[in-house]
Each structure stands twice: as C-alpha cells, then as structure tokens.
Amino acid sequence: MSFFDINKIFFELLGYQMSYLEFFGTIAGFIAVYLASRANIWSWPIGLINVTLFFFLFYQVQLYPDMFLQVFFFVTNLIGWWRWSHPKPFEEDRKKELKVSYMPTRMLLVLAIAGFLGTFLFGSMASRLHEWFPVVFNKPSAFPFLDSFVTVMSIITTFLMIQKKIESWIIWIVVDVVATYMYFAKGIKFVGFEYLVFCFIAAFGLLNWMREYKSYNLTK
C-alpha cells in the first residue's frame, strides 16, 4: 500500500517532492479532462483511475469534502460512460454518441441556488468532522467552505457533463480557479498546477462544444 502513501516519493524537482500518488493521479486527470474537452468517450474510464488515486490523496491532506467527491465521481464516471455510449435515437451525433446541447436558463438559476445552499450545508458539516469522528478525521478540515464549494459545484457540473450540456464548461472554469488556489495553499503543487491548466482546457472545451453544436445545423 506504500504506492498510496503521499510520503512515498517518486522524484524531486526543484525542491518539490513528488509522490507516486500525486503524480499518477494528476496525469490521469489531465488525460481525462483533455479527452472530455474533445467529447471523447474515453475520458470516463481514464477518469476512474484519476478519482481512485485522488481519494487517497485528499484524505491525507485533510481535504475531506474533496475525498468524498471522488466516491461520487467514481459512480458518475460509470454513469457518464454508459450515457454517452447509449444515446436515444434523436440524441445521436455522427459518432452515434450523445449530442452536446444547451440547457434552459431557468435550470441554470435553480442549479446556482442549489450550489450556494449545498456549499453552506456541506461546509458547515465539513468543519465539524474532526469533532464528530475524531478517530477517522484526526485533523480539522482544511478550507471547509472553499473545499465544499468545489465539491458541490463539481457534483452539479458532472451531472451536466453526463448530459453533454455546454454550460458545464463555464462552471468548470470557476471551480478550477478556486481549486487551483486551494491546492497550492495546501502544498500539493502539482495538483494545483493541474487545475490551473484545467482552466484553459475548460475554455477550449467550451469553444469546442459550441463549434460542435453549430455543426449540427450545417449537416442537416
């Protein structure tokens, strides 16, 4: 199990000690998000590797909401893999996969309210985990509300990704900016750098999905 120990160092670069766990989890995340920006279905199975490794990583740096998020991601990666590969006839694109689409403005407002309330509730609970379950969580949660924002909005956005909603990339950009700050502050710099790059990949994904949506009208 030493591979899953953040103190098991893979290599050192410019004074930064890189664990096996952080390195391979981050690389899998890079690949998965890039493939998602290309609307490539292989983003889902590769994402399973990423979330499994990050589950162990976030536990060890006391980002507990993020740790719980990986369990959710594991399940939704399986759901997303199935959903993209089994569209209904009217939802198929040229690859016989689910089409990208926009979502109604009303739904966006509802999700924004749900995100705010979810962040407050989850953050309040995360800040007390070390008091309620001291044997499992022997240190206080780091950044309970910021971490909860990343967690809650990631949950919401993942459901939008499963349905291939274009707006999901806009929300990902916001989440990635917050996560970048948080991970650098916690000292897992390679993960922080990953999420900084994710900001640009999300912008690319947004433009790419918008172009794909426009292409449907051209092929009618």
Please give the pLDDT value at position 135.
82
Residues present in the chain in total: 220
Structural contact between residues 169 and 209, judged by C-beta atoms closer than 8 angstroms: yes
Question: How many domains in the chain?
Answer: 1
pLDDT tens by residue, 94-131:
667 788 899 988 888 999 899 999 999 989 998 888 88
158's tokens = 């993942």
Among the listed residues 84, 13, 87, the one whose alpha carbon sits nearest the alpha carbon of residue 47: 84
Q: Read off the pLDDT of each residue in 145-155 and give the average, rounded to a whole number.
A: 91
Is residue 17 classed as helix, strand or coil in its secondary structure?
Answer: strand
User: What percentage of the chain exceeds 70 in pLDDT?
Assistant: 95
- CA dihedral sign, ordered 11, 16, 18, 23: negative
Is residue 61 classed as helix, strand or coil in its secondary structure?
Answer: coil
Q: How far apart are CA 80 and CA 84, in angstroms?
A: 6
User: pTM for this one?
Assistant: 0.78
What domain range includes position 27? 2-218
Helices (DSSP H) in 17-164: which residue ranges?
Answer: 20-37, 43-60, 64-85, 105-126, 129-132, 144-162
> Looking at this protein, which amino acid is placed at residue 147?
D
Is residue 1 classed as helix, strand or coil in its secondary structure?
Answer: coil
pLDDT tens by residue, 49-100:
999 999 999 999 888 888 888 998 899 999 989 988 887 776 666 667 788 8
